[in-house]
A and B are shown apart, each in its own frame.
Chain A
Amino acid sequence: MSPLRNVRNWLDERLEWDELVAPLRKKTVPLHRFSYWYFLGGITLFLFVIQVLTGILLLLYYRPGANEAFESIQYIMTQVQFGWLIRSIHSWSANLMIFTAFAHMFSVLFLKAYRKPRELTWVSGVILLFVVMGFGFSGYLLPWNTLAFFATKVGTEITGQVPIVGRPMMIFLRGGEEVTGATLTRFFGFHVAVLPGLATVLILLHLLLVQRLGISVPPRLEAEWSANPSAKRQMKFFPNFALRELMAWYVALAVLGALAAIFPWNLGVKADPFSPAPAGIKPEWYFLFMFQTLKLIPAKMWFIDGEVVGVLAFGLLGMLWLLLPFLESSQPLRTKSWITGFAALALAYITGMSLYGHLAR
């Protein structure tokens, strides 16, 4: 008997291991021409793991604090061996992760995977997306460079526009009236303690739900398959799909490594709170569509400030987005619904506004 088998038997005797992994063995993945979209969630998870690992590595040398943060990253990038690579991977992986999370979300929308019984999977996923954007926003400040400083100033200022709760929220985020070293300390805490804990719980919940409910089949296909069961095609999750997913991760890693090595992330110029904002201050690309919208709203709409209208509208849309599955009537065989149209509109708006914001002076 091989030693590996011995260990397995030992575990099985105590934990009923076989029973524990039985659902994974039974799990299947539906096969159809949209099956490739099923890889996106896994790739996002993989990039999250990369973020955790490289984040821990960066913590070995990073020092939060207005007088040290920039210098410590400079040190990482110039003195520590392969420090530039680790930091570059962390930055690139963050951006790719947000991209794949968005892509995953829209694929779920268009394949209508959010329908009953998967409403909670959707809700946990959307909250995860918000958490990931929080990671992006808080992590952006940590190098304490000019771009990050002013992006954070603007971003927290926008939070302050929300009526009643806005100002206290802004002061909570900034750790005072202004963006200072205190803000950096807070954002550091959010970035390495609060958000990772939250994300871990949500990811576990999300995966548990996916595991429990199985993988969704697009409604039209579902109807076809239930009418003609012999047409149904599926693949075992383990090992067939898992190995394919592994290959997808391998490709993602290659892309990530290439991007990080060929286009190392810039550090920029150290933030000086008493210098004017340089031209072309923009947030990270995934906030750009909101940023650009706020820029286009007139200063006064009727008797309310334009900013307030914009912020409230985005807040409302965010809520709507979170509760999307509950807004659709549960007609099992309806393949077209207003949500598909709404999703297409949102995708077009986000893409269009992001491009506009990117190109605009």
Chain B
Amino acid sequence: MPTPEQAIVNSSQLLPPPTPRRRFVKVLLGGGLLASAAAFLYPVLRYLVPPTTADLGGDSVVAGRVGELKLNSGKIFRFGSRPGLLIRTASGEYRAMSATCTHLSCTVQYRDDLREVWCACHNGKYNLDGRNISGPPPRPLEAFDVQVRGDEIFVRRRREA
């Protein structure tokens, strides 16, 4: 049993704050906790990012068959994971373009009465080359190349020059 005096001496020996040592322990503990928090958060953040899906279909797809489209009409086809628009003009020419409106990504359609490409969401209009001519769309639709091979109509993305 220590006498009260001894106890006081002991506690006074302990009491002066050994500051550097305490700081060191604090930094070690805090750093360790921070590091493990980062180790838990990193996988979670990576997990939250959805994996990119491969753009199926590549550069060229069969958009339709000859004779499928009447004069002055259009149809939507799948171009990879996005829709494309194939138009047969009044003169019998084929045109193809992206069907995703450049304004807010609605899917556009061919209007045979206007002979224009029209977006129903905000009344955006494009001409048959895909150029934005009226309404809110800021940019033209991406135009695709059309090739008729035998019975099938091929649509391919334009190569960058």
Contact = CB atoms under 8 A, between A and B. Distances in A.
Chain B binds chain A: yes
Contacts of B44: 57, 82, 86
Nearest to A60: B48
Contact of A79 (B46, B48, B51): B51
Contacts of B16: none
Interface string B38-56: 0010011011111100000
A82 B47 contact: yes
A86 B51 contact: no
Interface residues of B, dominant DSSP: helix
Interface in B46-69: 46-51
B43 A80 contact: no
Contacts of A42: none
Interface string A55-86: 00100110000000000000000011111011
Nearest to A54: B44
Highest count of chain B CB atoms <10 Å: which of A81, A83, A86: A81
A86 B50 contact: no
A344 to B, nearest CB: 39
Interface string A3-29: 000000000000000000000000000
Contacts of B36: 250, 253
A124 to B, nearest CB: 31
B51 A82 contact: no
Nearest to B42: A82
Given A81-B46, A82-B44, A85-B47, 15 more contacts: A60-B47, A61-B50, A79-B51, A80-B47, A80-B50, A81-B43, A81-B47, A81-B49, A81-B51, A82-B43, A82-B47, A85-B43, A86-B43, A253-B36, A253-B40
Across the A-B interface, give the 5 residue pairs with the lowest CB-CB distance, nearest first: A82-B43, A81-B46, A79-B51, A82-B47, A82-B46
